[in-house]
Amino acid sequence: MANAEIGVIGGSGFYSFLEDVSEIQVDTPYGPPSDSLYLGELAGRSVAFLPRHGRSHTVPPHRINYRANLWALRSVGVRQVLGPCAVGGLRPEYGPGTLLVPDQLVDRTQSRVQTFFDGVPLPDGSVPNVVHTTFADPYCPVGRSVAVAAARGRDWEPVDGGTMVVVEGPRFSTRAESRWYASAGWSVIGMTGHPEAILARELGLCYTSMALVTDLDAGAETGEGVSHTEVLKVFGENVGRLREVLFDAVAALPATGTRDCLCTHALDGWDLGIELP
């Protein structure tokens, strides 16, 4: 199996940024990931890229096989993951073009499997034990610092911290829902940040979200509401800038063997019952 140390799970409109890549298919105990993995080199680092929705955006948020995606990345050696994504702003000051590096999330999804450790036997006969993973701080503090510094280095002042609320999708929010989320003090809203973050934590991976605001959510604007066309348009206008920040973040992430953050100790003391890849 080919090796990569850093994984990038790309969101809408962000499916290609490596050149001279090798495409590999990875089997997992949880079925196939969203697409092939694309392995290449970026800024002197070995990187595996995975299109979150499939290369042709055919997998909606609620049907993404999040467990297979994270398992596949770890199986090729990935230990740090960057997760750029498109989100809606829940505050007027977080308008289109804002880059937010969240430090908290709220789960409002409904039907997604969000653990590897559910006591259900795997195809090889092994049985994962039930594990209750610490998740008070859902994002890697080191990765967050790197992402914020990378954005500032490109003259793009990010919002350092904030709460991402993750909804089931694929529909956008009603105005009432959007106002409710904003009244709780949450910052942005997306559809894919959970269970991506907790599954990364369960595998001992460092996970950092980089949230590009493409629109004001329904309760924060006075127009006709969010449209998918609008989201893609704004993402396309900012994808080059986000790519540069992502490149710099990849280059600045610590060497795999030097990691000693909370992510690396998430499963300390637990009998997992299964062997991780």
CATH of the domain at 217: 3.40.50.1580
**Residue 119 included in any domain:** yes
Q: Which residue has the higher pLDDT, 238 or 4?
A: 4
216 is in an annotated binding site: yes
Residue 239 has a pLDDT of 77
228 is in an annotated binding site: no
Q: Among 63, 83, 79, 67, which residue's Cα sits nearest to residue 30? A: 67
Q: Among 67, 75, 74, 98, which residue's Cα sits nearest to residue 197? A: 67
**Residue 258 included in any domain:** yes
Low-confidence winner among 29-33, 39-43, 113-117, 128-132 (lowest mean pLDDT)? 39-43
98 is in an annotated binding site: no
53 is in an annotated binding site: yes
For residue 220, with 0-12 CB atoms within 10 Å meaning exposed, 13-18 middle and 19 or more buried, which class applies? buried
Model confidence pLDDT, tens digit, residues 165-221: 999 999 989 989 999 999 999 999 999 999 999 999 999 999 999 999 988 886 555
**Residue 11 included in any domain:** no
**How many domains does the structure of the chain reveal?**
1
Is 217 catalytic? The answer is yes
Q: Which residue has the higher pLDDT, 17 or 262?
A: 262
**Residue 137 included in any domain:** yes
Is 215 catalytic? The answer is yes
Domain that holds residue 183: 84-265
CA 105 and chain centroid, separation:
12
pTM for the whole thing? 0.93
DSSP class of 9: E
**Residue 206 included in any domain:** yes
Residue 50 has pLDDT above 60, yes or no: yes
Of the residues 35, 107, 217, 248, only one is catalytic, namely 217
Residue 15 has a pLDDT of 47
What is the overall mean pLDDT for the chain? 90
Residue 25 has a pLDDT of 94
**Residue 131 included in any domain:** yes
Number of residues in the chain: 277
pLDDT class of 225 with cuts at 50, 70, 90: low
**Residue 112 included in any domain:** yes
C-alpha angle 267-37-250 in degrees, rounded to nearest 5? 65
DSSP letters along 18-87, please? -SS-EEE----TT---SS-EEEEEETTEEEEEEETTTTTT-S-GGG--HHHHHHHHHHTT--EEEEEEEE
**Residue 76 included in any domain:** no
Residue 132 has a pLDDT of 94
Of the residues 27, 215, 260, 271, only one is catalytic, namely 215
Residue 12 has pLDDT above 70, yes or no: no
**Tokens 């960057």 -> residue:** 82
Residue 109 has pLDDT above 60, yes or no: yes
Coil, helix or strand for 219? helix
1 is in an annotated binding site: no
258 is in an annotated binding site: no
Gap between the Cα atoms of 55 and 36, Å rounded: 9
